[in-house]
Each structure stands twice: as C-alpha cells, then as structure tokens.
C-alpha cells in the first residue's frame, strides 16, 4: 500500500473538485480500489503504489490545465480519465501545453503552428473572427475544435457549421436522395473534422437532436443564430449579399469563425467574392478579429507547402505581367492622344 498527498497551489480547489465534488467523484469512480480524500487544498490518495501514482499523475494534469486556463469541464475530466492507452508522460505533455480539446479516445487536439495558436487566442478575444489562409493550414479543423470546446464547457448550446454549396470547378449533376443526402457532399470536410473529435455514437446523437447542425449557407436566411458557435467555411465562395446575410444572423450570445482562401474562389466568372470586401470594411470594428495563415502553417503532406508556394509565385508573376501589359497599353493610349493633339495643332496653324 502507498499513500501520497497532493497539495493544491495556485488554483481554487473548487475548480478541481467541481460543484458538489462532481469532478473529484469522477476520479473516485474511475479508481474504485483507491481511497481518495479531498479536504481543503489537499488530496490524499491511498492504495496500490502503481495505481496511486497513476491517480497522482492525472490530478497533476488537471491542476496544470486549470493553471493554464484550459477548459476543465466534467467532459474534459472524463476524456482524461478515458486515456489510459496513452503513456502518462505523453498525456501530461499534451495536456500541459496548447490542448484545445480532447477528441475521440482522449486524443488531444492542439494548435500545431504559431498562427493556429494565434487563431485560438483571437477567437477567445473576439466574438467574430476571419481566418484566412491556403488549403491545409488547419483553419477549419482548429475552428471546429474551438466550437466543440465551447459546447463541452456549456459556453454555447449548439454548434452550427455551414458553407456555400459551390462546386469546385466541377459539375456534379443530379444527386439522388433527400435534402440531407443532396447537400452532404458539399459539407463533407466539416463532417471529417467532427469525426476526428467526437465518437460516432455521440456525434449521431448531437446531429439528430440538432445540438450540432451542418447545413448549406442558404439555410441560414431568416434565422437568428444565438447561443451558438457558428463556423462559416469556404467563405471566399460567398457573394457580398450572402456574407452580409450570414453576418447579420449572429445573435448577441454567439461566436463565429469565418474561414476562407482568397486564392481558391470557385464562383462563376461574373460573380465577385464578398470575402475581400468584408475583410476591408469590417476591419475597424472592435470585436471582429482577422487572422492570416500562410504556407508555413500547412500541416498536411510536406509537399503541399511547396505546392502552395509554387502557385503563389506563379500568381505573382501573372499579376506582374498583367500590370506590365496594362502599363504598355496606357502608354500607347497616352502617346496616341499626344499625337492626335499635335495633328490638331498643325491643322489649326495651317488654317
């Protein structure tokens, strides 16, 4: 038998124990063969040495999370306690720094790059955030993790994920099935992120009970989206009218993240993206944040970063060529006007 005492410092013990000892009771339930006694700022753990050490490690992780101001709801406690498959040192390492939320089987979801961490901070400081960057930079994934964290901590009552139903240069034609089956292909990236973070059974429950709603942007018209964490994905494919409609749906107790990539606009040629205008005119408003990710934030295959850089370089060359052509045409036009003026002056003198 082994007995250890953890002295809690730097936090309110109530944050660790939970209301009516709800959180410490979860720990006791997970380790029925260990005697866990909490009194004041001390927790006494008595039992088999190996198991006692495991309980101590879990408690230290919990204290560290509270000290670092990470989410610490009863759901987070359950996630930590269900993570026996991870080595204690690895769990401690993940939990101590940058964990947004624990996903399926207790897997930690973290901001992996500097700008992803800035996105987390920007969302905490603002009710509306525009996250702009190329494909693979984790914009949507990080946003979904933040939404799930807010739901688990009861900051919001529901999550709404939406995107415009615009085909990426392809014509999919007639899609069979009901409305959900018709629009789901457009929303698949959002489902993929959810699948990584929420067990299938719980996700199905949330979707069935509309705690999590995944729908095309057109379905947002006429609604007031309140007590919700809302994510608008692929916003570069919104017209100005659509984006204004979305932004004016947001209720007083809601948070929103709008993601987009201005280099991948799939709108028909005669339509302009409303995202660029929104970024310009909304920038001065307090409470609306803007964050830009780059190729350095790409977390997909290592070649994706190089692909993005190559396309960016090609786009810069194309833009430079367009500017050169415009300048040449303008110079030719000016020269033509000067020649016309000289001819008119000569004609007047001869007259």
pLDDT at 112: 82
pLDDT at 217: 87
pLDDT at 181: 64
Beta bridge partners of 5: 44
pLDDT in tens, 112-143: 888 888 999 999 899 999 999 988 888 999 99
pLDDT at 219: 84
Average pLDDT, stretch 52-57?
A: 87
The closest alpha carbon to 140, from 65, 196, 210, belongs to 196
Q: How far apart are CA 186 and CA 165, in angstroms?
A: 6
Lowest mean pLDDT: which of 21-35, 259-273, 276-290, 334-348?
334-348
Q: What is the mean pLDDT of the chain?
A: 81
pLDDT at 128: 95
Using pLDDT thresholds of 50, 70 and 90, give the confidence band for residue 228: very high
pLDDT at 248: 92
Q: What's phi and psi for 38, nearest 5 deg? A: -110, 130
Q: 67 versus 18: which is more confidently predicted?
A: 18
Q: How far apart are CA 159 and CA 292, in angstroms?
A: 24
Lowest mean pLDDT: which of 245-259, 265-279, 336-350?
336-350
pLDDT at 177: 59
| Lookup: tokens for 262 | 């201005």
Could you tell me the CA-to-CA distances from 331 to 235, 321, 338, 345 in Å, in that order? 38, 15, 11, 21
pLDDT in tens, 280-336: 999 999 999 999 998 777 765 566 667 767 877 887 888 888 888 888 888 888 877
Could you tell me the CA-to-CA distances from 87 to 35, 161, 276, 294, 327 in Å, in that order? 23, 34, 46, 33, 64
Instruction: Give the number of other CB atoms < 10 A from CB of residue 14.
Output: 10
H helices present in 209-270, as ranges: 240-247
**Maximal CA-CA distance, the chain:** 120
Using pLDDT thresholds of 50, 70 and 90, give the confidence band for residue 350: low
| Lookup: tokens for 32 | 């029925």
Q: Whole-model pTM? A: 0.61
Q: 74 versus 14: which is more confidently predicted?
A: 14
Using pLDDT thresholds of 50, 70 and 90, give the confidence band for residue 97: very low
């Amino acid at each position: 038998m082994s007995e250890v005492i953890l002295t809690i410092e730097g936090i309110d013990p109530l944050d660790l124990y939970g209301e009516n000892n709800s959180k410490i009771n979860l720990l006791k339930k997970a380790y029925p063969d260990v005697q866990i006694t909490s009194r004041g700022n001390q927790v006494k753990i008595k039992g088999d040495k190996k198991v006692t050490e495991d309980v101590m490690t879990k408690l230290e992780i919990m204290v560290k999370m509270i000290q670092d101001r990470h989410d610490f709801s009863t759901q987070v406690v359950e996630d930590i306690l269900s993570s026996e498959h991870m080595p204690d040192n690895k769990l401690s390492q993940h939990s101590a720094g940058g964990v947004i939320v624990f996903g399926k089987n207790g897997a930690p979801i973290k901001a992996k790059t500097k700008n992803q961490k800035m996105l987390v901070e920007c969302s905490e400081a603002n009710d509306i955030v525009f996250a702009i960057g190329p494909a693979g930079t984790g914009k949507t994934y990080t946003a979904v993790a933040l939404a799930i964290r807010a739901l688990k901590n009861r900051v919001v009552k529901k999550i709404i994920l939406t995107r415009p139903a615009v085909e990426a240069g392809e014509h999919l034609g007639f899609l069979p099935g009901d409305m959900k089956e018709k629009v789901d292909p457009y929303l698949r990236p959002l489902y993929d992120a959810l699948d990584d973070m929420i067990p299938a059974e719980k996700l199905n429950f949330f979707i069935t009970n509309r705690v999590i709603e995944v729908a095309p942007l057109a379905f947002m018209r006429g609604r007031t989206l309140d007590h919700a964490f809302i994510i608008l994905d692929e916003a570069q494919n919104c017209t100005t009218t659509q984006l204004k409609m979305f932004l004016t749906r947001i209720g007083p107790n809601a948070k929103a993240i709008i993601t987009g990539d201005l280099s991948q606009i799939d709108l028909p040629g005669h339509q302009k993206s409303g995202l660029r205008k929104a970024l310009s005119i909304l920038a001065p408003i307090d409470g609306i944040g803007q964050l830009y990710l780059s190729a350095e934030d790409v977390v997909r295959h290592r070649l994706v970063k190089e692909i993005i850089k190559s396309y960016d370089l090609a786009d810069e060359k194309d833009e430079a060529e367009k500017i050169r052509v415009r300048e040449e045409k303008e110079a030719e036009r000016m020269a033509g006007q000067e020649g016309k003026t000289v001819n008119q002056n000569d004609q007047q003198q001869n007259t």
